[in-house]
Chain A
Amino acid sequence: MYKIGVIGDKDSVLGFKILGLSVFPVLSPEEAVKVLHRLAGEDYAVIYITEQVAEKISASIDSYKSSKLPAIIPIPGNQGSLGIGVRGIKKSLEKAVGADILFG
C-alpha cells in the first residue's frame, strides 16, 4: 500500500501524525533534500512539504515533476502561506486546459 509523507519543521508537521501520515521533521534544507529523495525511492505516493522548506529545495522538487509518483504537494507551514502551492496548481492547470479557469 502506498503511503503519505509530510516533510517540514517539527511544529508544523507533527499534527499530521495523528491522521496516520508519516511525519519527517527536518531542521535544514540539506536534510530535507535527503529525506525527499529517500521517500521518493520508497512507497510514498504523496509527499506534502511545507512551503517554507519547499522554497529552499525547489530544484530537488522539480526533478520529480515529470515522474508519475510521488506527487509532491507544497502546503502552508505554521508561518502562513507563501503562495507556492497555489502557483503550482495554476501552472499545472494552464498546462492541462490551456487557460487558468480557476483563478483567472
Chain B
Amino acid sequence: MPVDTRFAYAYAIGRIRVIEKKLLDKGKLDRMIDSKSPDEALKVIVESGYVESSTLAGNAGEYENLLREEEKRLYGLLREVTSDDELFNIFLLKNDYHNIKVLLKSEFLAIEANDNLLVSGTMPPMHIKTAINERELDRLPLYMKEAIDECLDTFSRTNDPRQIDLILDKAYFRHIVEISEKSGHEYVKELVKIIIDLTNIKTFIRIKNLNMSADLLSRSLIPGGTIADSFFTENMDTNMEVFVEKIKNSPYFNICSQGISNYVNTGNLSRLEKLADDYIINFVKKSRYKTLGIEPLIGYLVAKENEIKNVRIIMVGKINNISGDIIRERLRDTYV
C-alpha cells in the first residue's frame, strides 16, 4: 500500500502559489494587444517578471529569446521543486524527443544543428548526441532506444524524413502513457488521455483534408486515448458534418462542431487548435483551488506553457501589424 502521497508536493505547491500570482491575466494580455508598438507590448511582460537578457535591449524582434529563457526557467523550477520526480518527465520528454528528431535529421543531412537543440529535456542534449553518434543507444531509456533503432532502419529503406516524426511522436506518447500509468495518479492519466484524444482529432482532420491514405492515418494515430483508433479509420470517408454528428456524445463535441465548421467555412484550422488548447486549460483549471495533491502543480505548468504560447501569438501579431480582433480570436483562454 503506497504511503499518503498527497503531502508529497506540499512544498512545491507553496512555491507555485507564490509565482502563480505573476501569471499574465486577461487584462495584461489585453494591454499587450492594445499597445501601439511591439516594443510597448514587450514592456508589459518584462514588467510581469520575464527576465530581459542583455542581448534583448528593448528590441521586440528578439522576443523569441525572451520566451526561450522563460521556458528554461519554468522547467528548471519544475525540476527544483519536485526533486526530479519522474512523473514530471511527462512535460519534459517532449523536448528530448524534439532533440532526437533534430539529431537524427541532421545526421541524415550531414549538417550541424546544435542551435536547434533544447536544453529543457530530461537529459542534456549532448548526452543524446553522443549516444546517437556512437550508436550506444543502451544509454537511453528503452522507448527512445527502440524508436531510434526503428528510425535508422526505416530511413535507410525509405529515405522519408516524415517517418522520423511519425515514429518519434508515437514513442513519445507511449513513453508518457507509461509514466502516467506507473504514477497511479488518476488525474495525470486523464490529462494524458485528453492530450492524446485531441492530438488524434487534429491528425484525423488534417490527413482527411489532405486526402491522404487511411493507411497513413492508422499509422499516425496515437494509441492510449479514450477514442478508439477504429472510430477514426472508419470515418475516413464520411463527410465532416456526419463525423461531427457521430462524435455528439463525446466531451469533444463542442471543439469538433465549432472547430470543424469554422474550418469548412474558412479553410483554417486555427479555431480548432485554439479550442483544443482551451479544453486542456479548462480541464486543469477545475482543480486549481485544490490545496494538496499534484493538481495545482500541473495546473501551473500547463498554464505557463499556455501563457508563453499566448505571448508568442501576440508578439507575432504586433510585429506583423495584425489587427487586435484577429489576435484576440486566436488567443487561448487563460488560467487566472
Interface residues of chain A, those whose CB is within 8 Å of chain B, are 9-11, 27, 78-79
> Is A27 in contact with B59, judged by CB distance below 8 angstroms?
yes
> Is A11 in contact with B59, judged by CB distance below 8 angstroms?
no
Chain A residues in 8 Å Cβ range of B316: 11
> Is A9 in contact with B319, judged by CB distance below 8 angstroms?
yes
Please encode chain B, from 316 to 333, with 1 for each CB lying within 8 Å of some chain A CB and 0 for all others: 100111000000000000
For residue B61, CB closer than 8 A to chain A, the reply is yes
> Is A11 in contact with B61, judged by CB distance below 8 angstroms?
no
> Is A78 in contact with B320, judged by CB distance below 8 angstroms?
yes
Contacts of B289-319 to chain A: CB distance below 8 A? 316, 319
Tell me how many residue pairs across A and B have CB atoms closer than 8 Å: 13
Chain A residues in 8 Å Cβ range of B61: 9-10, 27
Minimum C-beta distance from A78 to chain B (A): 6
- Which single residue of chain A is at the shortest CB-CB distance from B316? A11
Interface residues of chain B, those whose CB is within 8 Å of chain A, are 59, 61-62, 316, 319-321
A84 to B320, CA, bound (A): 20
- Which single residue of chain B is at the shortest CB-CB distance from A77? B320
Q: A9-B320, A11-B316, A27-B62 are in contact. List 10 more A-B contacts (CB 8 A).
A: A9-B61, A9-B319, A10-B61, A11-B319, A11-B320, A27-B59, A27-B61, A78-B320, A79-B320, A79-B321
- Which single residue of chain A is at the shortest CB-CB distance from B64? A10
A14 to B329, CA, bound (A): 24
Chain A residues in 8 Å Cβ range of B321: 79
Could you name 13 residue pairs across A and B whose Cβ atoms are closer than 8 Å?
A9-B61, A9-B319, A9-B320, A10-B61, A11-B316, A11-B319, A11-B320, A27-B59, A27-B61, A27-B62, A78-B320, A79-B320, A79-B321
A10 to B320, CA, bound (A): 10
Minimum C-beta distance from A25 to chain B (A): 9
A11 to B64, CA, bound (A): 12
Chain A residues in 8 Å Cβ range of B320: 9, 11, 78-79
A27 to B320, CA, bound (A): 12
A9 to B319, CA, bound (A): 9
- Which single residue of chain B is at the shortest CB-CB distance from A11? B320
A5 to B59, CA, bound (A): 25
Chain B residues in 8 Å Cβ range of A11: 316, 319-320
A38 to B321, CA, bound (A): 30
A27 to B64, CA, bound (A): 13
Identify the 4 closest CB pairs spanning chains A and B, nearest first: A27-B61, A11-B320, A78-B320, A79-B321
A10 to B321, CA, bound (A): 14
A16 to B141, CA, bound (A): 37
A93 to B59, CA, bound (A): 40
Minimum C-beta distance from A52 to chain B (A): 11
Minimum C-beta distance from A58 to chain B (A): 22
A79 to B320, CA, bound (A): 7
Minimum C-beta distance from B331 to chain A (A): 18
A9 to B59, CA, bound (A): 14
Chain B residues in 8 Å Cβ range of A79: 320-321
Minimum C-beta distance from B182 to chain A (A): 40
- Which single residue of chain B is at the shortest CB-CB distance from A31? B61
Chain B residues in 8 Å Cβ range of A9: 61, 319-320
A78 to B322, CA, bound (A): 10
Minimum C-beta distance from A81 to chain B (A): 15
Chain B residues in 8 Å Cβ range of A10: 61
- Which single residue of chain B is at the shortest CB-CB distance from A26? B61
A10 to B38, CA, bound (A): 14
Chain A residues in 8 Å Cβ range of B62: 27
Minimum C-beta distance from B44 to chain A (A): 20
A57 to B320, CA, bound (A): 20
Chain B residues in 8 Å Cβ range of A78: 320
